[in-house]
Amino acid sequence: MNTVTYSDEYVIDMISKNFIAVKLHLGEDKEWATRYDVRWTPTFLLLDGKEHEHARNVGYLPVMEMLAFLTLAIGKEAFDGEKFDEAITKFNEVISNYPESELAAEAVYYKGVSGYKKGHDASELSRAYQLLHSKYPNTSWEKKASVWDS
């Protein structure tokens, strides 16, 4: 992890500009591992100062997936705080900058939900489903969004 992902300039920039970065040893920092229910490494969490968890990943992430995860995590924090415009901006970044990422489909899903929650326009949900159906078929997110098909 240190030799590949964390030495990438874009990853360094994104983490340094947006987060307080913390490394905890699963064996030695057991109190925190128990508190956040962490059982395997690497596990990445995005938490706010009140310890609300906005995103979690278990397992190694190569550079592109890490950038997508961090961007999606920032979007999810905004979503959880009902800052839907900020959230949509971040979800759009995932969709356009990392379209091959496994997280792009999740970003489409949450972009649709954010659009709906912002203006209560159900067409946001059906648009999200159409995009998932055409671009990310057979993903779990396409299946979850299939109830929005109209």
Partner 1 sequence: MREITWRNDMGEALLDAQKTGRPLFVDFFWPT
Residues in contact with 122: Cβ distance below 8 Å, sequence separation at least 6, in sequence order = 116, 148, 150
- Residues near partner 1 (CB under 8 A), total: 39
Q: Which residues of 132-141 are buried (b: 16+ CB within 10 A; e: fewer)?
A: bbeebeebeb
Residue 15 binds partner 1 (CB under 8 A)? yes
| Residue whose C-alpha is closest to residue 92's, from 78, 79, 75 | 75
Residue 18 binds partner 1 (CB under 8 A)? yes
Chain centroid to Cα 34, Å, comes to 23
Judged by beta carbon, residue 21 or residue 147, the one nearer partner 1 is 21
Task: Determine the residue type at 149.
Answer: D
* DSSP state at residue 58: E
Residue 74 binds partner 1 (CB under 8 A)? yes
Residues 84-113 that bind partner 1 (CB under 8 A): none
Pick the piece of the chain touching partner 1 (CB under 8 A) from 47-55, 100-108, 110-118, 128-136.
Answer: 47-55
Which of 4, 10, 54, 143 is the binder for partner 1 (CB under 8 A)?
54
Give the binding site for partner 1 (CB under 8 A).
Answer: 1, 6-7, 9, 11-12, 15-16, 18-27, 29, 32-33, 36, 38, 41-51, 54, 70, 73-74, 77
